Amino acid sequence: MNRSSRSSSLSPHSFSEGGWVLVSPQNAIGKVIEKVCLWGNLSFRVWLPSTQSIIRVDASALSPAQSSVLSTHHLTYLAAAARVADALTHDVLLAPIESSVIPLPHQIRALSRAVSSDRVRYLLADEVGLGKTIEAGLIMRELKLRGLVRRTLVIAPKGLVTQWVAEMRTHFGEEFRLLVPSDFSAYRRIAREDNLWQSHPQVVCTMDSVKPLDSRRGWSREQVAEYNRERFEDLVSAGWDLVIVDEAHRLGGSTDQVARY
């Protein structure tokens, strides 16, 4: 028996509660939640995951859902889309709309929680691979769109700084400048500013490049002071609105005897 003859042989009574059906003219997959027979007319109440709605339809509007349509990947997609739609209804969040990235439900929840208070001090501690960089980018973008942030500093391990610059440009259209303190003498000839950290509104730098020194063999106090001024004191006084520290666990256990403190 071919597929068309098998479908035509099914009567409306064969659609049971909990079964999946194809609803026309919406051309959407739905789940039967109730069968209603009134004065000989059979109708069904059907839940549509794609629109998160429940509709009442006549039996003639239903047909069996093919297994190829209701694949595991398809149902997972519908469920994730419904959670994203639900998350967006709780708060008016601009970053997910203005960004090229499509955030996952847990990323929207992190964004919503982070911007729910006046002062944003938030630790993103998701497992590896769950998109903490995207979450941080969403928070930054949201605060910028709300007019709360203009100057942003990202401090990251050396191996991740170029990735930060690339991802912020690709996903959020945000341009960050990678500043390397060891090249400040060259920068200064171009920028001609006393505090080079103020030369760009959005900066990425490496974590270990901005550690202050107590002393260094062969250096005078004046040399140490100048080193700390460029790499640490000027950085702190540059007037950042938002500071993001990537892999902040590298600061764990730091004390006032450790440079990263």
Question: What confidence tens digit (pLDDT) does each residue in 144-165 have?
Answer: 888 889 999 999 999 999 999 9
Average pLDDT over all residues of the chain: 80
* pTM beyond 0.75: no
Strands (E), 111-228: 152-156, 177-178, 202-206
Distance CA(246)–CA(25), nearest Å, equals 50
Dihedral pair phi/psi, residue 69, rounded to 5°: -75, -40
Confidence band of 115 (pLDDT split at 50, 70, 90): confident
User: Does the pLDDT of residue 198 top 50, yes or no?
Assistant: yes
User: Does the pLDDT of residue 5 top 70, yes or no?
Assistant: no
β 20-23/28-38 pair status? antiparallel
Confidence band of 102 (pLDDT split at 50, 70, 90): confident
Percent of the chain at pLDDT > 70 equals 82
Those residues with Cβ within 8 angstroms of residue 206's Cβ, 6 or more apart along the chain or in another chain = 155, 156, 157, 158, 161, 180
Pair of tokens at residue 15:
């659609």
Q: What is the mean pLDDT of residues 32-59?
A: 82
**Cβ(114)–Cβ(122) under 8 Å?**
yes
Task: Note the pLDDT of residue 88.
Answer: 54
User: Does the pLDDT of residue 8 top 50, yes or no?
Assistant: no
List the beta bridge partners of residue 203.
153, 177
**Cβ(227)–Cβ(138) under 8 Å?**
no
Task: Note the pLDDT of residue 87.
Answer: 56
Strands (E), the chain: 20-23, 28-38, 41-48, 53-58, 62-64, 152-156, 177-178, 202-206, 242-245
Those residues with Cβ within 8 angstroms of residue 249's Cβ, 6 or more apart along the chain or in another chain = none
User: Does the pLDDT of residue 141 top 70, yes or no?
Assistant: yes
List the beta bridge partners of residue 243.
153
Those residues with Cβ within 8 angstroms of residue 23's Cβ, 6 or more apart along the chain or in another chain = 29, 30, 46, 48, 55, 57, 61, 62
β 41-48/53-58 pair status? antiparallel
User: Does the pLDDT of residue 3 top 60, yes or no?
Assistant: no
Q: Which of 196, 157, 149 is nearest to 177 (CA)?
A: 196
